[in-house]
DNA sequence: TCGGGATTGAACACTCATGTTCAATAGCAT
DNA sequence: ATGCTATTGAACATGAGTGTTCAATCCCGA
């Protein structure tokens, strides 16, 4: 619980003090120090929690069940599950994006890479199945998905997009783009 | 010159000290203080410089010349000009993304909105011309373009993508997505 | 060569976040 | 009720960044 609030506070202000975090979480600053001895420990804990949630989302989307012979509808459904579940993680993704110092941590970097692997393999299989376009580098497909999902999250916080519509919009844009219907 | 370096330093570490910036820029800390009296003044100057460059890019892309009767090739060419010119602004866009406190500045927020307007109008005209798909909200088309362009910039810095290939990749993904070729 | 503005390093006071300690308190299980 | 643990506010020392001042120096045009 503290970790989610900390993610939000640090997202809104990367230089927020621990007193700010404690106040936002409704606990004393001493308590915060008891659980996370240093500022860096707190930042790492928030980051690992965020990655934990991403891992869960990827698991729950059951991308691994989609084989190289899957029908396009299956791929679409799996992607939809993934996007739908990623969107609520917006504040945590925002935190990871806005704390570039964390990129220097080897363990976090390794975990991030680990998260991308199943996604890229999924894309690769979907391409062989003809459900995603061949020729697109899997890492780029994954990057695009993340980028569009994050853009949707931003639009939601800006009040431009209804949360219920977000996943469909991202999926549609990712799959068919914004070009003319041929 | 100082502003570009400052953008890079603050992108790599949002909490960088003014001494860090001065050292990276190869000037004394006193000189930095002479030009930008306070830290906030420096941050605002960097942000305004970034927005200035974005405005120039948008001008130079000559989106306004593309009317509601433009051919798809014209629209594609204009978008290509825009994306191509945006990519070198990567560090500055990164700076704007990673300094959320700046969002609180009314003037900056107003300028950001002003920048989006011509883009959204361009999208709107291109949709009427049938060169972009109707039904996609113009603000979302613009958001998607930004998101994909930024993703490409990240890929470049990660060494995954050749700078020369970036614009074509973004344009292709934005227009036709990563779904199967129908 | 000379003069003036810009640049610089050093030093200073000030503020603020951090991390620590400690005694008081609250909640909870026995 | 009793004892234990977690929580809390207060206070403190420390370190780091900020903004200021000033004298020394550099650079460039006159």
Minimum-distance nucleotide, CA of B33 to C1': D19
Q: Please check whether residue A25 is in contact with residue A7, taking contact to mean a CB–CB distance below 8 angstroms.
A: no
The candidate with the shortest Cα–Cα distance to A46, out of A84, A102, A86, A104, is: A102
Rounded distance, CA A173 to CA A155, Å?
A: 14
Task: List the nucleotides on chain C closer than 7 A to a protein CB.
Answer: 7-10, 16-22
- Per-residue pLDDT for A170 more than 80? yes
pLDDT tops 80 at residue A46: yes
CB A167 within 8 A of CB A80: yes
The rounded distance, in Å, linking the Cα atoms of A33 and A42 is: 9
Closest nucleotide over all strands to A31 (CA to C1'): D7
Per-residue model confidence (pLDDT) at position B103: 82
In chain A, the largest separation of any two C-alpha atoms, in whole Å, equals 62
Which pLDDT value is given to residue B9?
Answer: 95
SS3 B162: coil
**For residue range A81-96, what is the model confidence (pLDDT) as tens digits?**
999 999 999 999 999 9
The pLDDT, as a whole number, for residue A95 is: 95
For residue A14, the chain B residues in CB contact (below 8 A) are 14-15, 98-101
For the cut 80, the answer to whether the pLDDT of residue A182 exceeds it is no
Cβ–Cβ gap B11/A97 under 8 Å: no
**What pLDDT does B101 receive?**
84
Task: Give Cβ neighbours of residue B47 (< 8 Å, ≥ 6 apart).
Answer: B95, B96, B99, B102, B105, B108
3-class SS of residue B127:
helix
Under 8 Å CB-to-CB from B95, ≥6 apart: which residues?
A: B7, B8, B10, B11, B46, B47, B50
- The phi, psi pair for B129, rounded to 5°, reads -80, -5
Residue from the list A14, A144, A146 with its beta carbon closest to the beta carbon of B178: A144
A142-B157-A108 Cα angle (round to 5)? 65
The pLDDT value given to residue A141: 98
Given a cut of 80, whether residue A148 has pLDDT beyond it is: yes
Q: What percent of chain A has pLDDT over 90?
A: 93
Q: What is the mean pLDDT of residues A6-16?
A: 93
Q: CA B85, B6, B144: angle at the middle one, nearest 5?
A: 35
Predicted pLDDT at B102 = 85
| A2 C-beta neighbours (distance < 10 Å), count | 20
Average pLDDT for chain A: 95
Nucleotide with C1' nearest the B22 CA:
C8
How many other C-beta atoms lie within 10 A of the C-beta of residue A4? 16
Query: How many whole angstroms from its chain centre is CA B119?
Result: 12
Closest CA to A112 of A56, A57, A51: A51
Nearest to A100 among B13, B151, B181 (CB): B13
**CA distances in angstroms from B62 to A17, A146, B67, listed in the order given:** 45, 30, 11
How far off is chain A from B136, nearest CA to CA, in Å?
7
- Are B169 and A130 a contacting pair at CB < 8 A? no
CA A5 to C1' D1 (Å) is 39
Residue A100 has what pLDDT?
85
Tens of each residue's pLDDT in chain B, 182 residues: 899 999 999 999 999 999 999 999 999 999 999 999 999 999 999 999 999 999 999 999 999 999 999 999 999 999 999 999 999 999 999 999 999 888 888 999 999 999 999 999 999 999 999 999 999 999 999 999 999 999 999 999 999 999 999 999 999 999 999 999 86
Quick one: three-class SS letters along chain A?
Answer: CHHHHHHHHHHHCCCCCHHHHHHHHCCCHHHHHHHCCCHHHHHHHHHHHHHHHHHHHHHHCCHHHCCCCCCHHHHHHHHHHHHHHHHHHHHHHHHHHHCHHHHHCHHHHHHHHHHHHHHHHHHHHHHHCCCCCCCCCHHHHHHHHHHHHHHHHHHHHCCCCCHHHHHHHHHHHHHHCCCCCC
């Amino acid at each position: 619980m503290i970790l989610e609030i900390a993610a939000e506070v640090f997202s809104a202000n990367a230089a927020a003090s621990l007193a700010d975090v404690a106040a936002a979480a409704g606990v004393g600053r001493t308590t915060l120090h008891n659980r996370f001895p240093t500022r860096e420990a707190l930042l790492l804990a928030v980051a690992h929690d965020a990655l934990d949630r991403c891992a869960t989302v990827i698991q729950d989307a059951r991308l691994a069940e989609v084989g190289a012979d899957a029908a396009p509808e299956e791929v679409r459904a799996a992607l939809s599950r993934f996007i739908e579940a990623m969107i609520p993680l917006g504040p945590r993704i925002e935190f990871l994006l806005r704390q570039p110092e964390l990129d220097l941590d080897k363990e976090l970097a390794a975990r991030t890479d680990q998260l991308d692997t199943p996604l890229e393999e999924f894309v690769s299989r979907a391409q062989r199945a003809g459900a995603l376009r061949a020729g697109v580098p899997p890492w780029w497909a994954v990057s695009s998905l993340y980028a569009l999902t994050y853009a949707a999250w931003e639009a939601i916080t800006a009040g431009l997009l209804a949360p219920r519509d977000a996943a469909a919009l991202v999926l549609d844009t990712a799959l068919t783009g914004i070009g003319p219907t041929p």
